[in-house]
Every structure is written in structure tokens, then in C-alpha cells.
Amino acid sequence: HKKHVVYGVVLEPEVWDAQQDIVDVDEIEKAAHDFLAFYRKIDLRHHYLTEKCYPVESYIAPTDLRLGEEKVRKGSWILGTKVTDAKIWKDIEDGVLTGFSIVGYARRVPTD
């Protein structure tokens, strides 16, 4: 019996993201807490899928750890998502969908 729950890192501290931004541990924790308090929706290519996917676990890694084959740094936000849609689950199993990406707005602060 498969649970159809997928786990992954949403944000990792002090690592350049796709937009060439870095997020610190405090901001990651705030984003994770705000997500649970105000949003709790899973987005797939800008379509909210509340009836097909929903968060079931969310935590900040208390130490460096491994999540399957992936090395996870202390302070990373890890999300567990229940998938109820067969096509989405197949895309996960087939490697078409490979990770989480946060949706939101941020204020950029230049660093030296």
C-alpha cells in the first residue's frame, strides 16, 4: 500500500537559487511558518491543486541529514505532500516532477 507522499526541500539556506538570490535560515523559518499559517496550498505550474495535492508535513532540518539520496543542510525547509492524483503521482515516479519551488514575493537586499 503506497502512501503517495513525496518529500523534498523547499528552501535551503545560504545557497544561490534560480533567481541568484540567497535566503538565510531566519527567512526560511519565517516562510515555512507563514506557509502553514496562511497558505497551505500546493502549486503546479501556477495552478493551485488543493484537491490533488496537499501538505501533510513541514519542518526545518534541525541538523544536516539525508532525505533518500539527497544531502539536506541544517536549516533547510522540508515539505511532505500527499498526492491524490494518479497522473501527478506518475509524473513524480517517472522523474517529470522533481522538486519543490516556493511561490511568493520578496524584497531584495543587496549584499557586499
Return the domain boundaries, the chain. Answer: 5-93
Q: For residues 43 and 50, what is the distance between their CA atoms, to the nearest angstrom? A: 8
pLDDT of residue 71: 97
Q: pLDDT confidence of 16, banded at 50, 70, 90?
A: confident
pLDDT beyond 90 at 108: no
Q: Is the dihedral of CA 68, 58, 31, 87 positive or negative?
A: positive
In DSSP terms, 55 is beta-bridged to 81
Taking only the tens place, the pLDDT of each residue in 51-98 is: 899 999 999 999 999 999 999 999 999 999 999 999 999 999 999 999
Q: pLDDT confidence of 104, banded at 50, 70, 90?
A: low
